């Protein structure tokens, strides 16, 4: 391997230790506490942080998981890190995910949070026209959902149980059971759904 090739990866490898130490200190963890979390010995962590040892991919995966960082955080090439939070501006909301309510009718919905590998929760805000609703049954999948009505009224059915939600009401339910909702009133309803898949 020539010096140019070696020079391209040496800074990346050399940055792993300081990045690990910084992440550990931000969490207020001692070497021993990180060792217990990661199942990597405190001595090995100390060597990695000092740059005396290059961790194996398995060790790096364990350490990354223990400090709540993606593995890419430790081996990036100096590009700006991805933001910790995701901002969606009011005028830039994407469409609701197609699987949210594929049979919905009379519903204008946009996403306020989209799931990612790191942040699995999602959120949708929707206006439901009079007579509009989710369709007969929304897709069933492992997880849970919180429905919060902002304006108007929604009729909700979860596994045969019926609920009438007015403005300010919330309903928390599992999404692995049959569930559906509709607006039986003469005025539009607005509501927010927060979902987490398990």
Choose the weakest-confidence range: 85-99, 126-140, 162-176.
85-99
Under DSSP, the state recorded for 79 is: P
The two three-digit tokens of residue 165, written as one number? 């939600």
Residue 5 has pLDDT above 50, yes or no: no
Answer whether residue 151 shows pLDDT above 60.
Answer: yes
Instruction: Band the pLDDT of 74: cuts 50, 70, 90.
Output: confident
DSSP assignment string, 30-61: -HHHHHHHHTS-HHHHHHHHHTS-PPPHHHHH
Cut 0.85: pTM above it: no
Of 3-12, 59-68, 74-83, 145-154, minimum mean pLDDT range: 3-12
Non-local (6+) Cβ contacts of 96 within 8 A are: 109, 110, 111, 124, 126
Residue 17, helix vs strand vs coil: helix
What is the Cα–Cα distance from 64 to 37, expressed in whole angstroms?
A: 11
pLDDT for 82: 65
Is a pLDDT exceeding 60 seen at residue 6?
no
Question: Alpha-carbon distance 156 to 160, whole Å?
Answer: 10
- Is 82 or 46 the better-scoring residue by pLDDT? 46
pLDDT of residue 73: 81
User: Mind listing the pLDDT tens digit for each residue in 93-115?
Assistant: 999 988 899 999 999 999 999 88
Cα-to-chain-centroid distance, residue 123: 10
* Predicted local distance difference test score (pLDDT) of residue 79: 58
For helices 57-66 and 31-38, what crossing angle results, to 10°? 110
pLDDT at 138: 86
Is pLDDT of 135 > 60?
yes
User: Alpha-carbon torsion 78, 80, 83, 86, what sign?
Assistant: negative
Count other Cβ atoms within 10 Å, centred on residue 139. 12
User: Strand pairing partners for 109?
Assistant: 126
DSSP assignments along 83-151, one per residue: PSS----GGGPPBPPTTS-TT-EEEEEEEEE---SS--EEEEEEEEEEEEES-S-PPP-SEEEEEEEEE
For 162-192, write each residue's pLDDT tens digit: 999 999 999 999 999 999 999 999 999 999 9
Determine the average pLDDT of the residues in 156-161.
Answer: 96
């Amino acid at each position: 391997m020539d010096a140019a090739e070696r020079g391209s990866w040496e800074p990346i490898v050399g940055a792993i230790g300081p990045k690990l130490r910084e992440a550990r200190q931000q969490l207020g963890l001692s070497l021993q506490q990180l060792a217990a979390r990661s199942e990597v010995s405190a001595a090995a962590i100390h060597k990695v942080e000092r740059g005396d040892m290059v961790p194996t991919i398995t060790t790096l995966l364990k350490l990354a998981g223990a400090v709540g960082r993606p593995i890419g955080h430790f081996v990036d090439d100096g590009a700006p890190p991805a933001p910790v939070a995701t901002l969606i501006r009011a005028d830039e909301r994407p469409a609701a995910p197609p699987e949210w309510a594929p049979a919905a009718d009379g519903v204008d919905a946009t996403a306020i949070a989209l799931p990612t590998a790191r942040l699995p929760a999602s959120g949708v805000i929707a206006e439901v026209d009079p007579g509009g609703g989710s369709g007969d049954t929304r897709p069933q999948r492992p997880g849970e959902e919180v429905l919060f009505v902002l304006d108007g009224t929604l009729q909700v059915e979860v596994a045969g149980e019926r609920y009438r939600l007015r403005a300010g009401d919330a309903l928390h339910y599992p999404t692995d059971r049959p569930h559906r909702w509709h607006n039986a009133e003469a005025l539009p309803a607005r509501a927010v759904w927060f979902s987490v898949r398990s």
